[in-house]
A and B are shown apart, each in its own frame.
Chain A
């Protein structure tokens, strides 16, 4: 009876958590999107407001000045973030994967504001990345308020992310999948319940509190021939190349930007002004480009040349904005780039085959998901988003065909996603699985025992043996006057030595030492060949800090893996 009651209480707690996080994330997501739309309308970025503008001159000035001034504000905000970079989904992924507990709040919130300003002032960046990040941050704030442990905290983060996705795409199942596929990277029953609740609450709230129209509504999309599925696979492979080009451009501009002779604080302003000037001829590159996404689904809207030009411009504009320091995501531009590419592919198919193939909308949707999925590393989520937004089953299967090969090809050419690549550049390698990432994230620091026997390099064998027997240890570390580590002497090597010799002669030349910032993962690799009890630990100036006991390293290794398993497999 008591056990049943406990279970019910526990379940209510989990459900309550989901409701709380889902509701708050949904509200924030809708306000964020409404804020962007409001800014775009007031600042003459959205086509509707541009059409309604009272004078040509006003429009001209706004097109250049709004992104420039937006960039200036973004540059100033960035200045207040210690790492001088904006936070986004990779930071959430890193927090969860390496069990760091909570993502940094202040840079996170500043990044959210900067994203809003970037998007509001027309920068060619995505809105979903910031929303995922804010959702995760919100989940973690709740977890802190309720003093949850790291495992529950990670689930809370996943809840926030799921609710954000569910709200903005009106796609609760995709929200759940995204949280598990991209953030948690494992499927567990324990996490599913609160995430599902949060996702559903997000979906319900999305339609009631300041509701925003869904991204994509497709009324009809017939697939006329079964052989076209072969083309969808081909489109997937081709899209992978587009995705890789897109991601490489972003990384490349990022690298080049730091070499530019422009101070970092004004770099986004410069980028915004340049974007605005190009937008005088191609206003399509401003903002997230929702209108063009819709046009890409219409056969007659673009000529083939227009598709190709806009595709290239959008890749360049997004890489330019993100690389030069605007804040924002990569998802929405990827959707547009992919759909333009898909439409181009579809129209080429129609011309080359001479057969009445399916409408361009099918190819545009396939291209859209095939470019997006590898960029964010979420093949299943993107396919399910298509299903939930269109309710169209054959279209979903077509999208799946494209995504499958696109993800495979991209993972070979580039890696799992842009997020993972960015994390790798920061030293977090998720390609070897979560256990490796976790063990890489922890260093030896906490395991160092500072009390160890230190000897002068001129100590004799006799002195050394005496000191060792007094300290009851079998090894001693030779340290010079500056505290620098010179070697280790072992008791067994000294026993048969002449008592007056310098002990230093008997120190093995290739003894093992570790740096204090060595990750556990590398320490374990180093200890593989090690025979002994303790390993000396030095800092980067070779000063001896202490020693670690081998069994402590092994215990830490086992504890970390046990925590991870508990998070992934524990029943509740």
Chain B
């Protein structure tokens, strides 16, 4: 906060000069790549608008749904990236290295270095929340037996109907292998072998004609709500937002895949100073807790987790957070180092399989 104050003083003292020089003393807007939908609405409310109010810098958003393509041509100033994408981009030199020395301490006084969760700091990215990719189902679709395990995603006999799955290997391959009772600890070593990938595609083959592929984070919610799909993979926050508004959706927490969501700045960003300022602003204890209380993602600071309590509508938010002990029992921690390295190879094989060739 102190830095922001200093910045504000600088801005306010320079204002008369700027006013004399130009009739429109508008700072360059900050362009943020964001994921749209309910999630972006929360960020607008608790991060973007307050940031503009505090600094005068306008925040412009551009749509983003993962991947590294956004870094080509004219990239934004700041990207809300998954950690594995950030690591891959960092290795290719497309992101600037970050320093974390000026992050504010936690609200309880814990130094930032210890306040953030394990491995929140990476070379070019700072974790701000922990989200989960989960399986959810349409509660209207099944009577009696209800799906409860990852195995049920592949069980068309007991749970017939379309599946909406994300158009990338991530999560799909972990779940396919988990359905063979492979323990969580062995997933990535086994996925690293041709035999493991063979099993994965064998399993995914059973869903081939029953799958709708989605790309943007709000699509699985819409596909479930409209009844086009009976089960879908998706981000827990999106499903939560829909459930909070009364949609007939239920989350299966079994084998949820947890990943870090990070802030990262492209090398060719034009407004890097504002981006860095925004990162400091958006990762304070209170801001992280405010985001989590509205969209049910796990905050990246311990001090923020300790503050979590009620959704603005008044109900307890904690049981909806992926890291809640009750939800966390069979959680898979995404091996982002692995993904960052094998990304291209993996995507190629996945696309080959999707196009019907045996990979």
Contacts and interface: CB of A to CB of B under 8 A. Distances in A.
Interface of A: 46-48, 50-52, 54, 213, 217-220, 290-291, 294-295, 297-298, 300-302, 361
A513 to B, nearest CB: 65
A332 to B, nearest CB: 15
Contacts of B142: none
21 contacts: A47-B189, A47-B190, A47-B193, A48-B188, A50-B192, A51-B342, A52-B192, A52-B337, A52-B341, A213-B183, A217-B185, A290-B186, A290-B189, A291-B193, A294-B182, A294-B186, A295-B190, A300-B180, A300-B199, A301-B180, A301-B195
Interface in B311-359: 337-338, 341-342, 345
A407 B80 CA distance: 60
Contact of B195 (A51, A52, A218, A295): A295
A208 B341 CA distance: 30
Contacts of B341: 51-52, 54
Given A213-B185, A298-B181, 18 more contacts: A48-B189, A48-B338, A51-B193, A51-B338, A51-B345, A52-B192, A52-B337, A52-B338, A52-B341, A54-B341, A213-B183, A217-B185, A218-B181, A291-B193, A294-B190, A295-B190, A298-B182, A301-B199
A35 B345 CA distance: 29
A51 B338 CA distance: 9
Contacts of B191: 51
B45 interface: no
B44 interface: no
A77 B38 CA distance: 63
A288 to B, nearest CB: 12
Among A54, A219, A297, which residue has the most Cβ atoms of chain B within 10 A?
A: A219
B177 to A, nearest CB: 9
Contact of A46 (B183, B189, B195, B345): B189
Interface in B151-194: 180-183, 185-186, 188-193
Nearest to A306: B195
A219 B183 contact: yes
B202 interface: yes
Contacts of A51: 191-193, 338, 341-342, 345
A52 B342 contact: yes
Contacts of A290: 186, 189
B336 to A, nearest CB: 12
A455 to B, nearest CB: 78
Contact of B183 (A217, A291, A300): A217
Interface residues of B, number: 21
B65 to A, nearest CB: 26
A294 B190 CA distance: 8
Nearest to A212: B185
Given A51-B192, A219-B181, A291 B199 contact: no
Chain A, interface SS category: loop
Contacts of B345: 51
Interface of B: 180-183, 185-186, 188-193, 195-196, 199, 202, 337-338, 341-342, 345
A298 B199 contact: yes
A291 B202 contact: no
Nearest to B340: A52
Contacts of B337: 52
A178 to B, nearest CB: 24
A298 B192 contact: no
Given A48-B338, A52-B341, A300-B202, A291 B181 contact: no
A386 B358 CA distance: 38
Contacts of A298: 180-182, 199
Nearest to B178: A219
Contacts of B182: 294, 298
Nearest to B186: A294
A293 B196 CA distance: 12
A220 B337 CA distance: 31
Nearest to B202: A300
Contacts of B186: 213, 290-291, 294
A297 B182 CA distance: 9
B188 to A, nearest CB: 6
Given A219-B181, A294-B186, A48 B192 contact: yes
Which 9 residue pairs spanning A and B have beta carbons closest together?
Answer: A51-B192, A47-B192, A52-B341, A213-B185, A217-B183, A48-B192, A219-B181, A47-B193, A298-B180
A426 to B, nearest CB: 38
A213 B337 CA distance: 19
A68 B74 CA distance: 50
A301 B176 CA distance: 13
Contacts of A50: 192
Contacts of B183: 213, 217, 219, 294
A427 B340 CA distance: 56
Contacts of B338: 48, 51-52
Given A48-B188, A51-B342, A220 B193 contact: no
A295 B342 CA distance: 22
A52 B337 CA distance: 9
Contacts of A291: 186, 189-190, 192-193, 196
Nearest to B341: A52
Nearest to A297: B181
Contacts of A219: 181, 183
A220 B181 contact: yes
A416 B199 CA distance: 40
Contacts of B195: 295, 301-302
Nearest to A218: B181
A52 B202 CA distance: 23
B345 to A, nearest CB: 8
Nearest to A54: B341
B88 to A, nearest CB: 12
Contacts of A361: 181
A297 B190 CA distance: 13
A329 to B, nearest CB: 21
